[in-house]
Amino acid sequence: MNAAEPTLPLRYPFPLGELGGLPPLIRWAQKHAPVCPVRLPSGDRIWMLTRRDDIAKVFADGRFSRHLDANSPRVAGQDITTVERGLFHLDPPDHTRVKRVVSRFFTRRTVTDYRDHVTTEATRLLEAMTEGPNPADLVAAYAQPLQFQVMRQVLGVPEELWAEHERIFRSMASLTSGPDEVAEETANIRQLVTRILTVRTASPHHDDPIGALIAARQAGEISEDEMIGTVFVLLFTGTDAVIAPTAEGALILMEHRNQLDRCLADPGLWPKAAEEVLRYYHNGVLGFPIVATEDVELHDTLIKAGDGVAASMQAATWDTSHVRNPEKFRIARKETAEATFGAGPHYCLGSQLARMYISTALQTLFEHLPTLYLAINAKEIPWRNDITFTRPTQIPVTW
């Protein structure tokens, strides 16, 4: 091993690339160690996949399961994967049955119904931001509150619990702060889920994902644990997951002013811009592990039964076998963000919602403030790589 090669196993989390780009260690692994041993903050060891074809193959392979038990590897202790029987952790056919209950709220056609809501909330937040101090932090003034305000209505969080919802999700647990913080976060979300379900069960039925899960439970289509686990997953992935691409999208467009100007001149390009943002960034460097249910050999590496495997979806969208010059942000490129949403039965439920949301959030932002620019050097933007949804924590902007 020469001096330029890192010591294995790699230790997660990895330092990010410039402007939140693909971590250099992942680039290295993609080239030299396609089934790469990685030690997680929990101390557990997993195999990391970084090539798009490998990820697609393994995540559609029935010899790997989402169902983790007490001995399975965990990223940082009692995280989301310890919540039993949520959509996230089920394998077919249970997964198919539970997913059917909520999937109709996330189709390409359905999500267009939410567009006006995103625009209205975005406009309101931007009006408030421009009445306040200039420069301002775009994450705190826009990206973060927008997701709260949109998603609590999309998912069906009752109004009396909005403040609680915001309090719990305002800061995410650090994966490196030890198992207690992560366990506390999981416990807090669990309590919120219970309270949401109590309020919603006692209220008149509303046709939204949480309402549909309650109705399915009452009709005996899903179990109590499946209802609770799936509401947990929807809240977890639906509350913080698009803060990152909204913030990162704004940042990278400000840094690529020509492409931003093209979008402003031709609004039909916003979906292309959102697609490229989703390809360029993934809101988690490494996904949650799955486990092998039997021995599997891949690239001459034996993945033993019980071993954990995790994928870097950002690596998949930066795989040079599929994407030319992946480090270049180009809204006109032909390659899509498809691989960022995963593969197999667990292909991201919210992919269409994410696309619509990010496109609308970025369009509204820049149409409202076409001269928005960074108030500091882009290299000074603070990023956190120690949270599940990696992202900038502040983006000081001026207008």
Smallest separation (angstroms) from another protein to the CB of 144: 13
Question: Measured between alpha carbons, how far is 345 from 160 in angstroms, rounded to an integer?
Answer: 35
Asked if 239 and 148 count as a contact pair (C-beta separation under 8 A), the reply is yes
Picking from 102, 381, 82, 376, the residue whose alpha carbon sits closest to that of residue 244 is 381
394: contact with another protein by CB under 8 A: yes
134: contact with another protein by CB under 8 A: yes
Task: Give the DSSP H/E element, type plus range, for residue 131.
Answer: helix 115-131
Instruction: Tell me the chain's radius of gyration from C-alpha atoms.
Output: 21
Q: Which is nearer to another protein, 172 or 273 (CB)?
A: 172
- Which 339-358 positions form the footprint of another protein (CB under 8 A)? none
Smallest separation (angstroms) from another protein to the CB of 177: 7
Strands 308-311 and 45-49 come out as parallel
Task: Give the DSSP H/E element, type plus range, for residue 26.
Answer: helix 24-32
Q: Which is nearer to another protein, 162 or 383 (CB)?
A: 383
Q: Which is nearer to another protein, 134 or 325 (CB)?
A: 134
Q: Which is nearer to another protein, 183 or 375 (CB)?
A: 375
What is the crossing angle of helices 351-368 and 144-155, to 10°?
140
Q: Which residue has the tokens 């704004």?
A: 250
Q: Which is nearer to another protein, 178 or 306 (CB)?
A: 178
Token reading at 11: 């230790």
Asked if 137 and 395 count as a contact pair (C-beta separation under 8 A), the reply is yes
Q: Which is nearer to another protein, 16 or 296 (CB)?
A: 16
130: contact with another protein by CB under 8 A: no
Q: Which of 166, 208, 338, 386 binds another protein (CB under 8 A)?
A: 386
Question: Measured between alpha carbons, how far is 227 from 264 in angstroms, rounded to an integer?
Answer: 43
Q: Which of 82, 153, 293, 393 binds another protein (CB under 8 A)?
A: 393
Token reading at 388: 């599940």
377: contact with another protein by CB under 8 A: yes
Candidate ranges 1-9, 146-154, 317-325, 378-386; the one touching another protein (CB under 8 A): 378-386
Q: Which is nearer to another protein, 175 or 292 (CB)?
A: 175
384: contact with another protein by CB under 8 A: yes
Token reading at 190: 């669990």
**x/- string (CB under 8 A) for another protein, residues 176-195?**
-x------------------
Which DSSP category does 60 fall into?
Answer: T
Residue type, 124: R
Candidate ranges 27-35, 134-142, 228-236, 341-349; the one touching another protein (CB under 8 A): 134-142
Measured at the CA of 218, the angle between CA 216 and CA 224, to 5 degrees, comes to: 80
Q: Which is nearer to another protein, 79 or 137 (CB)?
A: 137
Strand, coil or helix: what is 291?
strand
Residue type, 193: V
7: contact with another protein by CB under 8 A: no
368: contact with another protein by CB under 8 A: no
Residue type, 10: L
Q: Which residue has the tokens 């420069």?
A: 135
**x/- string (CB under 8 A) for another protein, residues 135-174?**
x-x---------------------------------x--x
333: contact with another protein by CB under 8 A: no
Write out the residues near another protein by the rule CB under 8 A.
133-135, 137, 171, 174, 177, 375-377, 380-384, 386, 393-394, 396, 398-399
